[in-house]
């Protein structure tokens, strides 16, 4: 991962901690199924943690803001955005239920 990408990820996850290479702490990568394809999404866990820490239940999150944050470091084709949004919201619902248990 390039230094530029590490700096960008550090700013994106609002984390000023760095590793020995002066980059941010590694951002999570989570595999999700979108339209029958398994994709790796960077930063999903961190986004879910921020939303959860704010006490937002799945029905109270701003899906557009979530998608905008995730597409800052993930390339999602424009024609797949609706399916991406649905899959991400479903994943957050699963995450929320697991945190409550």
| Per-residue pLDDT tens over the stretch 15-38 | 444 455 555 566 899 999 888 889
Give kind and range of the element (H or E) at residue 72: none
Q: Give residue 7's pLDDT.
A: 57
3-state DSSP assignment of residue 15: coil
CA dist 32 → 17, 20, 46, 99 (Å): 27, 30, 15, 18
Least confident of 9-13, 42-46, 90-94: 9-13
| Whether this model's pTM surpasses 0.75 | no
- Domain span including residue 96: 3-100
**Domains in the chain, number:** 1
**Distance between CA atoms of residues 59 and 66, nearest Å:** 13
């Amino acid at each position: 991962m390039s230094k530029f990408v590490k700096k960008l990820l550090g700013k994106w996850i609002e984390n000023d901690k760095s590793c020995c290479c002066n980059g941010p702490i590694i951002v999570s990568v989570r595999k999700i199924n979108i339209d029958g394809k398994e994709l790796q999404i960077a930063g999903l866990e961190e986004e879910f943690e921020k939303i959860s820490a704010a006490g937002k239940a799945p029905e109270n999150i701003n899906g557009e803001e979530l998608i905008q944050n995730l597409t800052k470091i993930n390339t999602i084709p424009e024609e797949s955005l609706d399916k991406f949004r649905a899959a991400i919201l479903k994943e957050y619902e699963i995450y929320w239920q697991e945190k409550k248990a």
